[in-house]
């Protein structure tokens, strides 16, 4: 086939974002770290009432931003809403990095990071995780050079589940020049039970080069509505707003997010059920002999190494759709409680057969 259009070579070579596999009717989809619960009835009511799709949304998401600003005790310009927190990360990258620049992040981490960096034309600098799956923040700070424009810290880290401690994060911030933007991706913050873990919201006032990303996709169960937010310095978020595609945050997303915050207690009760299940699943896997890193998101990580592809097939046959990152490991989301027996049965079979 002839390809007449001249594409940027690095984009033509870029594999498209690989979404977690869809599951058939009998399988459990534990491949995308989704929330197994339907939205609350009150949230569904709001959605029904906001079905006016012939009108554009409020492009500034002012209602949601003012609720969040009040909640975090910051100004409305220190809050930014996006069509998923991933959109905001893309905007921040476009605002800071260009060809010749570098973006530092831990690896393995969220699979979207490399592609987003490539799109800007900048170069990814991937710093290997420690053996326990946690970020090596000292090595990440040491990887910062004059060419670095942005560093991503992911806590809890997708897919390994480990968190960064407040202590280590503060040391890291002290080592990174203020001219470098640090993005703390806290997509799974609500699932964290470790008291020593960093909590970005308490640190943004202190650091003029820190932006914290949060999302309604995970704990609040609104993944399909694409709504996330950032807290950080107004001038940095203004730059993100300048690179954003206008009007991409839907009215339904904004209103469902506000309604979810109004009914947060009920939602967080569901989160604590997922957390309890996560801790039980992790313990059962450890009892089977697996070396599972501390899980602080809504997922667990199995270091299956060179056996990853075959192990994923075992889960697939058992009706458990997982996310395989060969040759490193498998990430399994904590979903319906009915999936747990199947999940543990398949994990046991992997131990027996590989
Ligand atoms: C670490 C991390 N950050 C960001 C996201 C994207 O979330 P959103 O749905 O808000 O774009 C994900 C989703 O899986 C994630 O794992």
Q: Each residue of 209-230: pLDDT tens digit?
A: 999 999 999 999 999 999 999 9
CA–CA dist 319, 177 (Å, integer): 48
Q: Pairing between strand 28-29 and 320-321? A: parallel
Judge if the beta carbon of residue 260 lies within 6 A of ligand 1: no
Q: Each residue of 38-83: pLDDT tens digit?
A: 889 999 999 988 888 899 999 999 999 999 999 999 999 999 999 9
Give Cα separations from 220 to 85, 150, 184, 223 (angstroms).
13, 28, 19, 8
**Which residue among 19, 31, 34, 84 is best mutated to probe the pocket of ligand 1, counting the most ligand atoms within 8 A of its Cβ?**
84
Domain ranges of the chain: 9-39+265-353, 49-262
Q: Each residue of 255-285: pLDDT tens digit?
A: 999 999 999 999 999 999 999 999 999 999 9
Judge if the beta carbon of residue 118 lies within 6 A of ligand 1: no
∠ at Cα 19 (346, 6), nearest 5°? 145
Cα 156 to middle of ligand 1, angstroms: 11
Helix (H, G, I), strand (E, B) or coil at 227: coil
* Environment class of 186 (CB within 10 Å of its CB; exposed 0-12, middle 13-18, buried 19+): buried
Q: Is the peptide bond before 34 cis (omega within 30 degrees of 0)?
A: no
Please give the residue that has the higher pLDDT: either 50 or 133: 133
What pLDDT is stored for residue 49 in this prediction? 85
Cα 223 to middle of ligand 1, angstroms: 9
Cα 5 to middle of ligand 1, angstroms: 32
Judge if the beta carbon of residue 215 lies within 6 A of ligand 1: yes
**pLDDT at residue 87 is higher than 90:** yes
Cα 306 to middle of ligand 1, angstroms: 27
What pLDDT is stored for residue 2 in this prediction? 72
Cβ distance 129 to 107 under 8 Å?
Answer: yes
- When pLDDT is averaged across residues 302-331 and rounded to a whole number, the result is 96
- When pLDDT is averaged across residues 11-37 and rounded to a whole number, the result is 85
Token code pair at residue 183: 């993005």
**pLDDT band of 245, cuts 50, 70, 90:** very high
Whole-number average pLDDT of the chain: 95
Share of the chain above pLDDT 70, in %: 98
Name the residue at shortest CA distance from atom 3 of ligand 1: 187
Cα 2 to middle of ligand 1, angstroms: 36
Atom of ligand 1 nearest to the CA of 33: 14
Beta-strand ranges (E) seen in 37-145 are 79-82, 102-107, 123-128
**pLDDT at residue 110 is higher than 80:** yes
**pLDDT at residue 286 is higher than 70:** yes
**Which residue among 33, 80, 86 is best mutated to probe the pocket of ligand 1, counting the most ligand atoms within 8 A of its Cβ?**
86
What pLDDT is stored for residue 112 in this prediction? 97
What pLDDT is stored for residue 20 in this prediction? 67
DSSP H or E stretch at residue 92: helix 85-96
Beta-strand ranges (E) seen in the chain are 28-29, 79-82, 102-107, 123-128, 148-154, 181-185, 210-215, 228-231, 299-302, 320-321, 323-325, 329-333
Cβ distance 191 to 278 under 8 Å?
Answer: yes
Judge if the beta carbon of residue 183 lies within 6 A of ligand 1: no
Name the residue at shortest CA distance from atom 8 of ligand 1: 84
Cα 85 to middle of ligand 1, angstroms: 6
What pLDDT is stored for residue 116 in this prediction? 98
- Is the CATH number 2.60.120.10 carried by domain 9-39+265-353? no
Cβ distance 188 to 221 under 8 Å?
Answer: no
Judge if the beta carbon of residue 185 lies within 6 A of ligand 1: yes
**pLDDT band of 1, cuts 50, 70, 90:** low
Domain with residues 49-262, CATH architecture:
3-Layer(aba) Sandwich (3.40)
Beta-strand ranges (E) seen in 155-296 are 181-185, 210-215, 228-231
Helix (H, G, I), strand (E, B) or coil at 42: helix
**pLDDT band of 23, cuts 50, 70, 90:** confident
**pLDDT at residue 102 is higher than 80:** yes
Cα 177 to middle of ligand 1, angstroms: 26
**pLDDT band of 151, cuts 50, 70, 90:** very high
Judge if the beta carbon of residue 113 lies within 6 A of ligand 1: no
């Amino acid at each position: 086939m002839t390809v007449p259009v001249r594409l940027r070579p690095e984009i033509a070579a870029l594999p498209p974002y690989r979404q977690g596999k869809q599951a058939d009717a009998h399988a459990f989809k534990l491949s995308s770290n989704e929330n197994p619960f339907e939205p609350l009835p009150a949230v569904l009511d709001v959605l029904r009432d906001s079905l006016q799709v012939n009108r554009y949304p409020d492009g500034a998401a002012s209602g949601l931003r003012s609720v969040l600003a009040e909640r975090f005790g910051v100004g409305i310009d220190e809050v930014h809403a996006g069509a998923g927190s991933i959109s905001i990360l893309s905007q921040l990258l476009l605002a800071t990095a260009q060809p010749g620049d570098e973006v530092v992040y831990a690896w393995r981490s969220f699979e979207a990071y490399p592609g987003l960096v490539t799109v800007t034309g900048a170069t990814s600098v991937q710093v290997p995780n420690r053996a326990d799956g946690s970020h090596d923040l000292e090595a990440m700070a040491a990887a910062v050079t004059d060419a670095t424009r942005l560093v991503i810290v992911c806590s809890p880290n997708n897919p390994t589940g480990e968190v960064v401690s407040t202590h280590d994060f503060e040391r890291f911030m002290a080592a990174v020049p203020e001219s470098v933007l640090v993005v703390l991706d806290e997509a799974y913050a609500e699932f964290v039970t470790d008291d020593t873990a960093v909590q970005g919201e308490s640190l943004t006032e202190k650091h003029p080069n820190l932006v914290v990303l949060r999302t309604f996709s995970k704990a609040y169960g609104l993944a399909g509505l694409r709504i996330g937010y950032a807290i950080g310095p107004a001038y940095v978020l203004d730059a993100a707003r300048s690179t954003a595609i206008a009007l991409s945050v839907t009215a339904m997303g904004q209103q469902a997010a506000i309604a979810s915050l109004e009914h947060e207690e009920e939602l967080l009760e569901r989160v604590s059920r997922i957390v309890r299940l996560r801790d039980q699943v992790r313990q059962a896997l450890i009892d089977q002999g697996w070396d599972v890193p501390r899980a602080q998101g809504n997922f667990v990580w199995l270091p299956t190494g060179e056996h990853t592809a075959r192990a994923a097939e075992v889960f697939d046959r058992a009706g458990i759709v997982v996310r395989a990152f060969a040759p490193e490991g498998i990430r399994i989301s904590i979903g319906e409680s009915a999936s747990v027996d199947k999940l543990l049965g398949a994990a046991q079979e992997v131990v027996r057969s590989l």
